[in-house]
Amino acid sequence: MIAQILVLTGFVLALISAIQFAAARGWLPESTLLACVGIALGGSYTALDAFAPEVAGQLSPLVTLAWPTEAYLWIFLPPLIFQAALTVDVRAMLPDSAPILLLAIVAVFVATGLIGGVLALVSGQGLMLCLLLGAVVATTDPSAVIAVFRSLGAPARLTRLVEGESLMNDAAAIAIVGILVASISEGLIAPGLYGVAWATSLSILGGGVAGYVAGRSVVALLPALDRLPVAAATLTLALPYPLYVAADELLHASGVIAVVSAGLVISALGPTRLSPSSWYYVHIIWRQMSVLAGASVFLLAAMRVPPMLGDMTVLDFVYLLVVLVAALVARLGVMFGLLPVLSWLRLSSPVDTRYKLAISWGGLRGAVTLVLGLSIAENSLLPMEDRQFVGALACSFVLASLFINGLSLRWVVERLGLTALSEQQKVLQRQAALMSSAEVQADLTRIAEQLLLPQSLVRSVHAEYEAELATGADTVEFESALTERERLSLGLIILATKEHSLIPEYGSGVISARNLDVMMRNTAQMIDAAREGGRIGYNRAATHILDPSPSLLLGRLLARFLRIDWLLMNALGDRFELMICRRAVLEQLVEFNAQSLGPFVGSRMTTLLESVLKTRLEAVDKAIAEMRASYGGDYTHALERRLLFLFALNKGSSMIDTLKAESIISAEIAGNITGALDEKWRSVVARPSVSLIRKSSRARQPERTQEEGNDEGAADQPDEVKEETGENIPPDSGVPPP
């Protein structure tokens, strides 16, 4: 039996690989192909069971699994939703949090109520049963939709809205289904819309709190596993299943929301706790897990559909049409009736009408709806007729959405003009093509010289390459197509985005995770501010990081009046690290602006952007100089030495790992060197004591003059440093230490 299951598992994995290959060739969306293959296998098994039962018996472990269909949710759903949350750009989704919550939660209630109410009127079935069906089909599966959007180059906001909706609507639908099943099976009085909404809200809130706590716990452990990417990935793999079960069984909260919440926390804080290579490794592992889990559950569930659809009547297909229409009307009602309210209340920027239509038509149902329908069909607590009614309509609804909406979605998106580039995007495409062409020509010339190939061949290949790039590219010049303000804002957004990606490189314990988080939040603010306010907004957001932190201000007071040093020591160490790291990143940005961004935005913009970066560098240098002047050379020298030593140890460990990977040194030699470096790291990583400040302060005390005392008192009043943009940069106010 075990050998048979292992062979069938290998068959399923090979089949999934073939389906993904076919989907990549554009034959059909992956979800549609999985459904087709699964139904074909399920139908083949039914036929074999009738005509060749001995052959069908070999396939029975694959089709008639021993566990109930609810087990599909427990086995496959946690890794699916955790991986989706782990790959989400939390910062980018925050501006659209209101419409995402509306689509993910409110839309589920609207769809449940409208589908259930209309079906009850048409079919004569009980309202609770029809509401149950409405809840089952209310959840959407974005995998096929997002794949289409990305392949067509649809706008990023459209994809974010669909991704955000999918993260939470499963939880709302599963919670409603659970409440309705309990009410029907136990003969309870209908809880009503208010009762369902209250119970669902409590379930979601409890799951969110549990997931946040679990996510923060994992994040706290990640820095210790930074040099062990396999261990870090294994730790994240250990989280979803226990969290899902604990939230669902022990806390009676939403396991889905708990897993999503934990994934979002790790997604937001993980990049500053792990090195970029380790974080990438975690993503690769979860990408593979998600692909296998999603394809497997869809394929295995679809194989169990044919027996359910065999008993459907003509009247059932009429009911299916009613459900399809009601579901579409419900989504359109939310899009055009409720989303504008958010804009009117200024909770969200307006959503383009074309986006609303694409999201409405792209509301495909997938694995979760299929599994929920099958779990209802095999729930022995419900009457047989009710089980068949809900199960058959739910499964047929999934198939109809995949074959009707799924196959036509690409055509709808193209007809709505969502694949067309804006004028600004066309100009940027042309700039990118020109930069690529110049780089390719230089590389072709170098390769031809190395291989002794004629330059005429280089010119021919480059001309053909350039002609291919020119297809669809706008011929308008960059500087004439965009105003100077638009070009400057674009350059600032690119710089802030690049800065956001550079910060995690200073992790691995060299810079504290707290400081990296502060810088990541600050660059996120700079991106939004540059998009909305241009250079003024960018500069205003950039100066916030120079403000003294609340812990630094409180630490000064505690040290001055109560002689409690630990808070001041930590705050000063954090601030010094923050300034040093910010300066290192700014130096990289100056180089990036000159070498990479310059050819893209032009020489005029390159000069302006360099002046903005130089002004930021001067402000940071001023803050560092004020720290040295206020807290003495001994203390800042110790901080500088500590940082430099940590950089050296981190670089040395990386080089030893590289030498070992390239077989230049043996594992034994690498282990000995790494052990010595780790021991030195433990001795250096502690920050210097504030006693050095007092020592420097006492050494300077006799030499102070009245004029110096007046100057020091004036330091409490921060000078204002004018940028060329007119923005003020408040430097650190150096309150003298005790």
Burial (0-12, 13-18, 19+ Cβ within 10 Å), 177: buried
Q: What is the pLDDT of residues 521-549, one digit of tens each?
A: 888 888 888 888 888 889 998 888 888 88
pLDDT for the residue numbered 240: 93
Amino acid at the residue 647:
F
pLDDT tens-digit series, residues 171-210 = 778 888 888 887 787 665 555 556 666 777 788 889 999 9
Taking CB atoms within 8 Å and a gap of at least 24, the contacts of 475-479 are 475/430, 476/423, 476/426, 476/427, 476/430, 478/427, 478/430, 478/431, 478/601, 478/602, 479/602, 479/604
Average pLDDT in the chain? 79
CA distance 102 to 100: 5
Is 693 a residue whose pLDDT tops 70?
A: no
Contact assessment for residue 359 and residue 104, using Cβ atoms and an 8 Å cutoff: no
pLDDT of 1 over the 70 cut: no
What confidence category does residue 236 fall into, taking pLDDT thresholds of 50, 70 and 90?
very high
User: How large is the average pLDDT for residues 120-145?
Assistant: 85
Mean pLDDT (whole number) for 400-413: 84
Phi, psi of 198 (to 5 degrees): -65, -45
Does residue 99 have a pLDDT over 90?
A: no
Mean local confidence (pLDDT), 682-691: 72
Q: What are the b/e assignments for 630-660, b being 16+ CB within 10 Å?
A: bbbebbbebbeebbebbbebbebbeebeeeb
CA–CA gap between residue 147 and residue 29 (Å, rounded): 8
Of the pLDDT bands very low, low, confident and very high (cuts 50, 70, 90), residue 471 is low
Nearest to 275 by CA among 205, 222, 204: 222
Model confidence at 727, pLDDT cuts 50, 70, 90, reads very low
Six-digit token string for 324: 């399809």
Count, in order, helices (H) and strands (E) of the chain. Answer: 35, 2
Q: State which H helix or E strand residue 721 sits in.
A: strand 721-722
132 and 392 Cβ atoms separated by less than 8 Å = no
Q: Give the model's pLDDT for residue 325.
A: 93
Q: What is the pLDDT of residue 241?
A: 92
Confidence band of 686 (pLDDT split at 50, 70, 90): confident
**pLDDT at residue number 215:** 94
Kindly calculate the radius of gyration of the chain based on its CA atoms and give it in whole angstroms. Answer: 31
Cβ–Cβ < 8 Å for 241, 78 = yes
Cross-strand bridge partners of residue 526: none
Partner residues linked to 729 by β-bridges: 721
Q: What is the pLDDT of residue 713?
A: 40
Does residue 428 have a pLDDT over 70?
Answer: no
pTM, whole model, 2 decimals?
A: 0.75
DSSP string, 127-170: HHHHHHHHHHTT----HHHHHHHHHHT--HHHHHHHHHHHHHHH
Quick one: pLDDT at residue 116?
Answer: 92
What average pLDDT does this structure show over 142-155? 66
**Average pLDDT, stretch 675-687?**
80
Beta strands in 286-388 (DSSP E): none
Q: Which residue has the tokens 């969306």?
A: 29
**Mind listing the pLDDT tens digit for each residue in 247-267?**
988 888 888 889 989 999 999
pLDDT at 192: 59
User: For the chain, what percent of residues have pLDDT higher than 70?
Assistant: 80
User: Given the DSSP bridges, would you call strands 728-729 and 721-722 parallel, antiparallel or unpaired?
Assistant: antiparallel
- If pLDDT is split at 50, 70 and 90, which confidence band does 706 have? very low
Higher-confidence position of 345 and 598: 345
The highest-confidence range among 146-155, 191-200, 206-215, 460-469, by mean pLDDT, is 206-215
Residue in the block written with tokens 């396999």: 230
Task: Output the pLDDT for position 291.
Answer: 80
What value does the mean pLDDT take over residues 543-562? 85
What mean pLDDT comes out for the span 602-621?
89
Burial of 675 (0-12, 13-18, 19+ CB in 10 A): exposed
Classify residue 421 by its DSSP letter. P
User: What are 728's strand-pairing partners?
Assistant: 722
What percent of the chain clears pLDDT 90, i.e. is strictly above it?
12
DSSP conformation class of 544? G
pLDDT the model gives residue 152: 62
How large is the average pLDDT for residues 418-447?
71
Q: Are 519 and 545 in contact (CB under 8 A)?
A: yes
Predicted pLDDT of residue 191: 58
Place of tokens 């020591």: 569
Does pLDDT of 498 surpass 80? yes
Which pLDDT score is estimated for 720? 36
Give the whole-angstrom CA distance, residue 303 versus residue 591: 57
Is the pLDDT score of 235 beyond 90?
Answer: yes
The 8-class DSSP code of residue 729 comes to E
Window from 20-34, 49-63, 321-335, 498-512 with minimum mean pLDDT: 49-63
* pLDDT > 60? residue 238: yes
Which residue has better confidence, 222 or 478? Answer: 222
